[in-house]
Amino acid sequence: MTGVAIAFWVLAAVAVLCSLLVITSRNPVASVLYLVVTFFCLAGLFVTLHSHFLAAIQVIVYAGAIMVLFLFVVMLLNLGTPQWFDVATTPLKAVALVLGIGFVGALAAAGVGDFEPSATGPAAGVHPDVLGSTEAIATALYSAYYLPFLVTALLLLVAMVGAVVLARRER
């Protein structure tokens, strides 16, 4: 196994384990922290794909900003260990279980057979340092994807203004 393959399997295993712990742990703060670890593993996976910029953004935006807000809210509400998760088995749960297993099965059937982690590098002929670099992403964003980039920015601005309007107290 190459170094990249080892890194892939370790990161992927930790990511899957931690995302399972996110939904199974009883303590909401622990869930938040497991999710942070998951995001870290994803960032690590981006690094093995030579997408350094994406990895940095993953940590800055998800681990550094959004999850801090989550933690902030969880702490403010101070949920502790909730009791209301232990509800009796409902038909809905059975349906969710079947659908979930089906979804994982479909993913496994589609991907696992011809999956080779050491082949997940950049395409042939592209220098690996160029592909996911800050310069490459900036060039793509400001040339080929200029309009979508602007529209997304506008959308975020609208969402921000909306949040401010909703949060403003009536005078």
Residues in contact with other proteins by the rule CB under 8 A: 29-30, 33, 36, 52-53, 55-57, 59-60, 63-65, 68-69, 71-72, 75-76, 129, 133-134
Token representation of residue 122: 């950049």
Shortest Å, Cβ 151 to other proteins? 21
CA distance 43 to 54: 7
Q: Quickly count: other Cβ atoms within 10 Å of residue 17's Cβ.
A: 14
- State how far the Cα of 170 lies from the Cα of 104, in Å rounded to an integer: 48
- Closer residue to other proteins, CB minimum distance, 72 or 103: 72
Residues 51 and 70: beta-carbon distance below 8 Å:
no
Q: Which is nearer to other proteins, 15 or 59 (CB)?
A: 59
User: Closest separation between CB of residue 137 and other proteins, Å?
Assistant: 10
| Residue nearer to other proteins on the CB measure, 68 or 108 | 68
What is the C-alpha separation between 76 and 25, in angstroms, rounded? 19
Output the smallest distance, CB 170 to other proteins, in A.
Answer: 21
Tell me how far, at minimum, the Cβ of 152 lies from other proteins, in Å. 18
Q: Which is nearer to other proteins, 22 or 56 (CB)?
A: 56
State how far the Cα of 49 lies from the Cα of 7, in Å rounded to an integer: 11
